[in-house]
A and B are shown apart, each in its own frame.
Chain A
Amino acid sequence: QVQLQESGPGLVKPSETLSLTCAVSGASISSSDFYWGWIRQPPGKGLEWIGNIYYTGSTNYSPSLKSRITMSVDTSKSQFSLNLSSVTAADTATYYCARFRKAAAGDVGFDYWGQGRLVSVS
């Protein structure tokens, strides 16, 4: 059974760096079929894609957040991480990690999600 679990501080001060880690179990983080992503959701609002990382370390970031994001992967620990710098109150959200599955000729989508980590900036 595939499981993803976010961990990290639930409270971050303005101008500091938000750091989260996602532990993956039940699937190989090194599989060529999957990308690993972060999505966030401000309270009462919709979903916003933050970025994806491949097991090789190749990354893709949201253009609106690109200047503040760093993602990394540790295949030996089966986990990947998100750093978001210079946070403000607008970065307060539930942060989800998720697995993005590609199909042969297209995409399946985010097929497994963590439960989410509420991070408040204050």
Chain B
Amino acid sequence: GEDVEQSLFLSVREGDSSVINCTYTDSSSTYLYWYKQEPGAGLQLLTYIFSNMDMKQDQRLTVLLNKKDKHLSLRIADTQTGDSAIYFCAESESSGSARQLTFGSGTQLTVLP
């Protein structure tokens, strides 16, 4: 079945760049997502990329997709203390079914002052 893997923890200094990595196994993944979960809250969609793209940039966020290696990364430039959260990688196929969104275990990002 589908599997999405992430490292559990990442610590960076305020102002540095953060890179959160994710690998997935499903070669039919069409959409790949990054969700952010702040303490005590639900998940919010941060950004996404279609599988026919290599890169997507949105202000401080850069998403890189290596489809051959099934590797997705999220780079946060100029990381701030407000970026401290859990970041989930997720993938889905194209049919849009609620069943077909698979999440990774989440990476806890801690931003040190």
- Binding between chains A and B: no
- Interface of B with A (CB < 8 Å)? none
By a beta-carbon cutoff of 8 Å, the part of chain A in contact with chain B is none
